[in-house]
Chains A and B, each alone.
Chain A
Amino acid sequence: EAGVAQSPRYKIIEKRQSVAFWCNPISGHATLYWYQQILGQGPKLLIQFQNNGVVDDSQLPKDRFSAERLKGVDSTLKIQPAKLEDSAVYLCASSLGAGRETQYFGPGTRLLVL
């Protein structure tokens, strides 16, 4: 079974530029998550989708971050404009549903903002 796919794997941008990350969850998984992992820390949830609806985006910096999940499958996370403190690994995860189900993570996109 294919795992969670993410692209690109690495991205380097200048501050104030925009960037977008893509995620394809495990087939059949209704719930999709975006986490931010700063070096040396554990992942922090940014947004959770159930199918194509937002369940929790309380920790998403909405002035610069946006995310969408069209057709309830793939998802895109965008940052515009980027700040130095956005340098981190952006992890996408998926699970079958929104209960106790295990969340499975993709390899992440490593973003460096200069």
Chain B
Amino acid sequence: EDQVTQSPEALRLQEGESSSLNCSYTVSGLRGLFWYRQDPGKGPEFLFTLYSAGEEKEKERLKATLTKKESFLHITAPKPEDSATYLCAVQAVGNAGNMLTFGGGTRLMVKP
């Protein structure tokens, strides 16, 4: 069974204080790993897709990396507007469809 575990569950940062969010996964064969951002009362918003170990992608203050067992979302010099829940999800090879298995999310709060 595919499993995704995110840590920490919650993270409080001061504005400008860089940190990383972790996503550990167990999957029979990885088709893709997805990062989403979710603001309160809204649906998840797509950030990145990573397909193979060693791959990295960047967008503004966010950088996502992937190894064979985990992914990191690095946040550099965060701003209050980066406050949100960050969700990680995996898509496995061989599933009937292309369902995403999500982790529980990391709730990030950035204080000014």
Contact = CB atoms under 8 A, between A and B. Distances in A.
B105 A100 contact: no
Contacts of B62: none
Given A91-B44, A107-B43, A108-B43, A45 B104 contact: no
A100 B89 contact: no
Contact of B99 (A33, A100, A102, A105): A33
Contact of B42 (A93, A100, A107): A107
Contact of A56 (B36, B51, B97): B97
A18 to B, nearest CB: 24
A98 B46 contact: no
Contacts of B101: 45
B99 A56 contact: yes
A91 B101 CA distance: 14
Interface residues of B, number: 27
A104 B87 CA distance: 14
Contacts of B32: 100
B22 interface: no
B111 interface: no
A42 B98 contact: no
23 contacts: A31-B97, A40-B104, A41-B105, A42-B87, A42-B89, A42-B104, A42-B105, A43-B87, A48-B99, A58-B96, A91-B43, A91-B44, A93-B43, A98-B97, A99-B98, A100-B31, A100-B91, A102-B34, A102-B46, A104-B46, A107-B43, A108-B43, A110-B41
Given A45-B101, A102-B46, 11 more contacts: A42-B4, A43-B87, A45-B100, A48-B97, A48-B98, A56-B95, A56-B97, A95-B98, A100-B49, A101-B98, A107-B42
